[in-house]
Amino acid sequence: MTAVAAPGAPIVISCGEPAGIGPEVAADAWRVLGGDMALLWIGDPRHLPSGTPYREVTDAAQAHGPCPDALPVLARDFGAPRVPGTPNPAHAQGVIDAIADGVGLVMAGAARAICTAPISKAALIDGADFAYPGHTEFLAALAGDVPVVMMLACTELRVVPATIHIPLKDVAAALTPAVLRDTLRITRDALMRDFGVTAPRIAVAGLNPHAGEDGKMGTEEREMIAPLLDALRAEGFDLAGPLPGDTMFHAAARAGYDAAVCMYHDQALIPIKTIDFAGGVNVTLGLPFVRTSPDHGTAYGIAGQGVADATSMIAALRMARDMADARMGAAAGASGGSI
């Protein structure tokens, strides 16, 4: 059960991989948004870009309200400074703990949402035996093993991969009716609850070229995807598909749906990162709390150079705020106006 945070409570930002661009895009985003919304960064303050004005707090309550003069920081000691571009295995556990601590604050109602800066999956596995392929699965576990899905969203497109961080050779076996049903249900619920879409239209990709071309190029569409979509249509879902993955993302096609559910990671993420890499946001659907993230990764090659674009982090924080507002409004409505 997640408590509802007060309107002035902060959105928590977990530091992410210190050797990546996470600390600098968080600091840049605070410079843009810090006068409008309450933010609280969790991490080692030595990892922020030098010259970032910050204020250490010991409690999320001390970070209520906008703080344009200094970034509120829940300070952690990671034991060593950052070396941009070179992850330090000794930092891995601190990176994981920052995410878990942020989730703890959100679930306790001390923060409104969590926005996670990018992690390196490999660095966390190497440094701390991290048991999850990414935030998405870790957050699902922290929330009590709830079913979740990953969505990436920009102003022109929302995409949902039904399978995420698994080898391509394992995708077909992982795509079961239960997985696809959960993915479509969670996506539809979230479009209504978090994005204000009253009658969601969802486009569903096939797995194979040309969506199987009537079974000539693969049978998953005929044997599994199409029957499942028919069953869900009978339950009231507005679904198109299974559609050929190569022709469902051009502008006219995109106008026909509110989200595209895809069969694997790159089928979903290539179109959105091509259309709007700078402004895309990663959001986890199905959680009992709000989590967003920029759509990019650690970008080691440019870390520490002051050139990272914070647009996606800014969009992620704005989306977190809007989603938290929507949920608070819904909670207020359900309780007759008082929460």
Ligand X SMILES: NCC(=O)COP(=O)(O)O
Residue numbering of the annotated binding site: 135-136, 165, 210, 265, 273, 282, 291
* Contact code string over 46-85 relative to ligand NAI, x by CB under 6 A: ----------------------------------------
- Rounded to 5°, angle at Cα 321 from 74 and 62: 30
Q: Which is nearer to ligand NAI, 127 or 200 (CB)?
A: 127
**Could you say which of ligand NAI, ligand X, none residue 208 binds, taking C-beta under 5 to 8 angstroms by partner kind?**
none
Residue 298 interacting partner from ligand NAI, ligand X, none (CB closer than 5 to 8 Å by kind): ligand NAI
- Show Cβ contacts of residue 299 under 8 Å, excluding neighbours closer than 6 positions: 20, 21, 118, 308
Q: Is 249 left (phi over 0), alpha (psi -120 to 50) or beta?
A: alpha
**Could you tell me the smallest distance in angstroms from the CB atom of residue 57 to ligand X?**
26
* Residue 17 to residue 21: CA distance in whole angstroms: 8
E strand spans, the chain: 11-14, 39-43, 54-57, 71-75, 113-116, 149-154, 157-161, 201-205, 238-243, 259-262, 281-285, 291-294
Nearer to ligand X, 64 or 135 (CB): 135
Which three-class secondary structure state does DSSP give residue 249? coil
Number of Cβ within 10 Å of residue 6's Cβ equals 15
Binding letters toward ligand NAI, positions 265-304, x by CB under 6 A:
-----------------x----------x--xxxx-xx--
- Per CB under 6 A, the list member of 95, 99, 106, 119 interacting with ligand NAI is 119
- Reading the block at residue 245, the tokens are 């993955």
Assess 137 for contact with ligand NAI (CB under 6 A): no
Which residues sit at the interface with ligand NAI, rule CB under 6 A?
Answer: 21, 25, 118-122, 135, 282, 293, 296-299, 301-302, 308-309, 312
